[in-house]
Amino acid sequence: MDTFTQLTLNGLTLGSVYALIALGYSLVYGILKLLNFAHGDVFMVGSFIGFGTLQLLGGSTDPVVPIWLLLTLITLTAMAGCAVLGVAIERFAYRPLRDAPRIAPLISALGVSFFLAYSMQLLFGAEQRDYDAFSLGNGVLFLEGFNIGNVRVPLLRIVIIVSAFVLMAVLWVLVTRTRTGKAMQATSIDREAAAMMGIDIDRVIVFAFVLGSALAGAAGVLFALRAPTFASIGFLAGLKGFTAAVIGGIGSIPGAMAGGLILGFAEAYTQGYISTKWSDLLVFVILILFMLFRPQGLFGKADIRKV
């Protein structure tokens, strides 16, 4: 039972990060019907921005601000930096190809992905960056927490899980309760009709990239707090985020949340009960099965075809 509890906690931690990445895919796809394959590398850039901010603020061993403020600042800085990056990607890589055949923006997305990954590698090298979260506050993020049976739940995991769910809740409110969110919903249903009703389509699309990229930046920081980051990490993280979006129903915000959690649990249980070598394989087996038997995902709707 203790093993199951530990693996469930691992899955919840990992799944919440995947859910944040998947939300970025769903936001952009829901409006543009575009698979933004550069999104995983935005996640990677966010983890590097967070690391750079951490070093500017004194590093893990001697921060110049309290720990709670330090974590808030590195997360907000990563979100802001990735939001700006998302706007630049949309403006220069996707907007000129908005009315082009679908293969063109897809190739552009892959090009942006490689550009970001290799640029970061050339600028900062291929070595890993470790936030060294254990040193923060003399290990307070690991020493503080509570027990579930014989399983210790450190404060760091609580911070990661709660932060991810708070960000998901904020996104849900923005999309469902605000004027801009309703404009996003209208644009996702029919872009041309939304434009005729006076909605600024360009503004809505940019806002979607801002939100999605900011969430990817936050996910990058939350992930890097528990594992080292490096320049090529975005490719696999992006694929897993895309898989989570497909599982939930790409374009569906609740589906992205559910898909991320399902993927996190599946990966954690596979690592614990079978082997760590099989976890990535299982992720993509799940993707293939969904594409074969339920391509619309759990919360998505099947396309209506005129006959």
Distance CA 242, CA 256 (A): 9
Proportion of the chain in helix, strand, coil states, percent, rounded to 5: 75, 5, 20
| pLDDT for the residue numbered 92 | 93
Domain membership of residue 123 (yes or no) is yes
Say if 278 falls within a structural domain. Answer: no
In a domain, 276, yes or no: no
Helix axes 253-273, 2-32, angle to 10 degrees: 150
Spatial neighbors of 199 by CB under 8 A, at least 6 apart, are 183, 186, 187
Kindly report the number of other CB atoms within 10 A of residue 65's CB atom.
12
| CA separation for the pair 291, 304 (Å, rounded) | 17
In a domain? residue 287: no
Whether residue 40 lies inside any domain: the answer is yes
Number of folded domains in the chain?
1
**Which DSSP string corresponds to 65-123?**
S-HHHHHHHHHHHHHHHHHHHHHHHIIIIIGGGTTS-THHHHHHHHHHHHHHHHHHHHH
Classify residue 113: in a domain, yes or no: yes
Mean pLDDT of 203-214: 94
* Overall average pLDDT of the 82-108 stretch: 91
Give the H/E segment covering residue 225.
none
Looking at residue 119, what is its pLDDT?
A: 94
Range scoring the smallest mean pLDDT among 12-21, 68-77, 159-168, 297-306: 297-306
Using CA atoms, how far apart are residues 302 and 33, in angstroms rounded to an integer?
Answer: 14
Q: How does the average pLDDT of the chain come out, rounded?
A: 89
- 306, pLDDT greater than 70: no
161, part of any domain: yes
Which SS3 state, helix, strand or coil, does residue 184 take? helix
Confidence of residue 253 (pLDDT cuts 50, 70, 90): confident
Whether residue 101 is predicted with pLDDT greater than 90 in this model: the reply is no
Q: pLDDT per residue over 28-58, tens digit each?
A: 888 888 889 899 999 999 999 999 999 999 9
pLDDT in tens, 211-221: 999 999 999 99
Residue 229, phi then psi, degrees to nearest 5 = -115, 160
Full residue range of the structural domain in which residue 41 is found: 13-231
Predicted pLDDT of residue 303: 58
Q: What is the pLDDT of residues 127-186, one digit of tens each?
A: 899 998 888 877 787 767 778 878 888 888 899 999 999 999 999 999 888 999 899 989
DSSP H/E element including 129: none
Both tokens assigned to 117 = 């990954």
Compute how many other C-beta atoms are within 10 angstroms of the C-beta atom of residue 42. Answer: 31
Q: Confidence class of residue 302 from pLDDT cuts 50, 70 and 90?
A: low
Rounded to 5°, angle at Cα 157 from 124 and 65: 60
Task: Please say if the pLDDT value at position 255 is more than 60.
Answer: yes
Provide the whole-model pTM: 0.92
Q: What is the pLDDT of residue 307?
A: 47
pLDDT digits (tens, 9 = 90+) for 269-289: 999 888 888 888 888 898 899
* Mean pLDDT to the nearest integer, 64-75: 92
Is 70 exceeded by the pLDDT of residue 304? Answer: no
Task: Please list, in sequence order, all residues whose beta carbon lies within 8 angstroms of the beta carbon of residue 300, skipping any fewer than 6 positions away.
Answer: 248, 249, 250, 251, 252, 255
Residue range 247-255: average pLDDT? Answer: 87
Tell whether 277 is covered by a domain: no
